[in-house]
């Protein structure tokens, strides 16, 4: 094969040079026989001419042969075969016929070649989440045969007070009413004959989850604002909307939407920052004023507490409503800030940080947009009211995520005491909920009232397993 070197004008012969090597242009124009200003080298597989838009012409690909493409400002009316006659060298007319003859079999071969079909890719395998429950056996519950069920019995009666008229609970609560002063053996027989244990599983199939603690704190406050008592504890605002989605969509039972009206639209309610800065219409909704911002914050997390007034009298307050904003952990935020390690995160350490950094406290609290509103409770209540609407029982009431565990149900909890490996296995009652209690195997252990209860609750961050006891005849459906 002969080619013209356009930089020297000399004709060279390449008897072994293949045709495909002639399908490259390296800085030349095959139309003007002059070196071009382009220095781009294209691969031989591209079969393209340097210096033009590849989208405008593709060689040997079935496009019309006479398309008038522009190459370095010059219009090309060459055939495809003619476009493949330049190799960084000029075009020599003496071998034009031979080049066309060589191209013809390739063109016929390209026309007869069928594009292979892409391999069939099987659809991805979708693994469905595990069912939240699996039938278990009493022997699988740690220490079941030896634990004392007497303290559980009082908490169970509180659940029956709320559930005795509901389907699935009438028979078992009526049977409980027939037991008078039952001993521990009688209680074991009662639960084993009347209930079926189901172990709780997370969507990923694991059976362990986080168990935390909460309590009823004591604060100091006043019914009027003073220089000392300047942090307000609000009742529910008048413009807060609570929409029960289950009334419109049965599949969204027990789910609520909270917001406010803006014109004719429902928009999210004010967050903590906006409430603290006076944007929400809460003037006149102050129930009490307290003396400590971080204590007020933790009262909102606990959901209930007692306030000692200046005259020494005590009042009780409990959860009334929430602004609908998501809960964010300030302990996790402090870990991210480097204040302490994750394993050191506790209510006590958060309070210590707040005492040392009063100037940064409000900005930290605003990292959690969730805000709780309260109501004053009757003083004769023996304990705070849980979400089930009954008084909680110290160390035997559990807050749960009701998307998995039904309120009122007995729940066997297998965990450990705070900051120890000592087993804490007992039958509790699901009687409360919480904004931070999200997940199937997730529980919040109610420790009671006072400083000691607060110490236990603040330190509790254990792993645990849970079994729900369903009344026989009211077991959950595990199939599709």
Q: What tens digit of pLDDT does each residue of 308-317 get?
A: 999 999 999 9
Quick one: how far is CA 456 from the chain centroid?
A: 28
Domain boundaries, the chain: 2-112, 133-211+383-471, 218-377
How high is the pLDDT of residue 53? 39
pLDDT exceeds 70 at position 33: no
Residue-wise pLDDT tens digits, 421-432: 999 999 999 999
Mark out the alpha helices in 148-213 (DSSP H runs). Answer: 150-163, 170-177, 184-194
* pTM to 2 decimal places: 0.69
Q: How far, in Å, CA of 58 to CA of 81, rounded?
A: 12
- 444: nearest Cα among 427, 426, 462: 462
Q: Where do the DSSP E strands lie in 83-170?
A: 86-87, 133-135
In which band, very low, low, confident or very high, does the pLDDT at 420 lie, cut at 50, 70 and 90?
very high
* Phi, psi (degrees; rounded to nearest 5) at 262: -130, 100
pLDDT exceeds 80 at position 188: yes
pLDDT exceeds 90 at position 339: yes
Q: State mean pLDDT over 400-424.
A: 96
- 412: nearest Cα among 197, 231, 165: 197
Residue count of the chain, please give it: 480
- 233: nearest Cα among 313, 295, 279: 295
Residue-wise pLDDT tens digits, 349-386: 999 999 999 999 999 999 999 999 999 999 999 999 99
User: Would you tell me how many other CB atoms lie within 10 Å of the CB of residue 75?
Assistant: 10
Residue-wise pLDDT tens digits, 44-73: 333 333 333 333 333 333 333 333 333 333
| Average pLDDT of the chain to the nearest whole number | 81
Take residue 221 and report the two structure tokens written for it. Answer: 């406050």
User: Would you tell me how many other CB atoms lie within 10 Å of the CB of residue 147?
Assistant: 17
In which band, very low, low, confident or very high, does the pLDDT at 343 lie, cut at 50, 70 and 90?
confident
How high is the pLDDT of residue 377? 94
Q: Which DSSP category does 65 fall into?
A: S
CATH number of 133-211+383-471: 2.40.40.10
**264 with 209: CB under 8 angstroms?**
no
Q: State mean pLDDT over 297-314.
A: 96
Percent of the chain with pLDDT over 90: 65
Q: How far, in Å, CA of 466 to CA of 411, rounded?
A: 7
Let me know if 458 is exposed, middle or buried by CB neighbors in 10 A (0-12, 13-18, 19+): buried
Class of domain 218-377: mainly beta
Least confident interval from 178-182, 441-445, 468-472:
178-182
Q: State mean pLDDT over 334-343.
A: 92
In which band, very low, low, confident or very high, does the pLDDT at 104 lie, cut at 50, 70 and 90?
low
Q: Which residues contact 75 (CB under 8 A, 6 or more apart)?
A: 68, 69
Q: State mean pLDDT over 158-184.
A: 94
Least confident interval from 10-24, 157-171, 195-209:
10-24
Residue-wise pLDDT tens digits, 108-134: 555 555 556 666 666 655 445 567 999
How high is the pLDDT of residue 253? 74
Q: State mean pLDDT over 166-191.
A: 95
């Amino acid at each position: 094969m002969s080619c013209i070197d356009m930089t020297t004008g000399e004709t060279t012969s390449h008897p072994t040079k293949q045709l495909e090597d002639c399908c490259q242009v390296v800085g030349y124009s095959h139309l003007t026989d002059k070196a071009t200003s382009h220095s781009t080298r294209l691969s031989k597989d591209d079969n393209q001419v340097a210096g033009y838009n590849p989208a405008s012409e593709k060689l040997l690909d079935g496009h019309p042969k006479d398309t008038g493409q522009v190459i370095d400002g010059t219009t090309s009316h060459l055939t495809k075969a003619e476009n493949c006659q330049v190799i960084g060298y000029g075009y020599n007319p003496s071998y034009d016929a031979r080049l066309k003859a060589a191209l013809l079999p390739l063109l016929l071969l390209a026309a007869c070649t069928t594009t292979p079909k892409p391999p069939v890719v099987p659809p991805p395998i979708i693994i469905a989440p595990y069912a939240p429950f699996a039938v278990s056996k009493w022997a699988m519950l740690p220490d079941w045969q030896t634990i004392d069920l007497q303290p559980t019995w009082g908490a169970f009666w509180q659940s029956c007070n709320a559930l005795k008229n509901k389907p699935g609970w009438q028979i078992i609560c009526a049977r409980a009413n027939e037991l008078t002063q039952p001993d521990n053996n009688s209680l074991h027989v009662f639960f084993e004959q009347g209930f079926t244990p189901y172990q709780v599983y997370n969507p990923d199939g694991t059976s362990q989850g986080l168990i935390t603690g909460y309590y009823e704190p004591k604060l100091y406050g006043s019914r009027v604002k003073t220089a000392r008592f300047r942090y307000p504890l609000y009742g529910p605002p008048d413009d807060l909307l609570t929409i029960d989605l289950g009334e419109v969509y049965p599949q969204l039972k027990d789910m609520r939407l909270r917001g406010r009206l803006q014109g004719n639209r429902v928009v999210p309610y004010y967050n903590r920052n906006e409430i603290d800065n006076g944007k929400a219409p809460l003037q006149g909704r102050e129930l009490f004023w307290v003396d400590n911002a971080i204590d007020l914050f933790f009262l909102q997390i606990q959901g209930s507490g007692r306030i000692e007034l200046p005259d020494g009298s005590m009042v009780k307050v409990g959860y009334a409503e929430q602004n609908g904003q998501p809960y964010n952990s300030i302990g996790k935020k402090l870990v991210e800030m480097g204040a302490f390690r994750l394993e050191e995160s506790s209510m006590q350490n958060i309070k210590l940080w707040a005492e040392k950094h009063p100037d940064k406290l409000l900005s930290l609290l605003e990292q959690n947009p969730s805000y709780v509103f309260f109501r004053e409770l009757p003083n004769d209540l023996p304990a705070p009211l849980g979400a089930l609407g009954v008084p909680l029982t110290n160390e035997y009431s559990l807050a749960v995520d009701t998307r998995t565990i039904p309120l009122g149900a007995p729940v066997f909890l297998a965990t450990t005491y705070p900051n120890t490996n000592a087993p804490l296995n007992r039958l509790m009652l699901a009687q409360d909920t919480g904004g931070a209690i999200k997940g199937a195997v997730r529980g919040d252990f109610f420790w009671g009232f006072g400083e000691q209860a607060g110490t236990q609750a603040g330190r509790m961050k254990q792993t645990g397993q849970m079994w729900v006891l369903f009344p026989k005849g009211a077991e959950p459906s595990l199939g599709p």
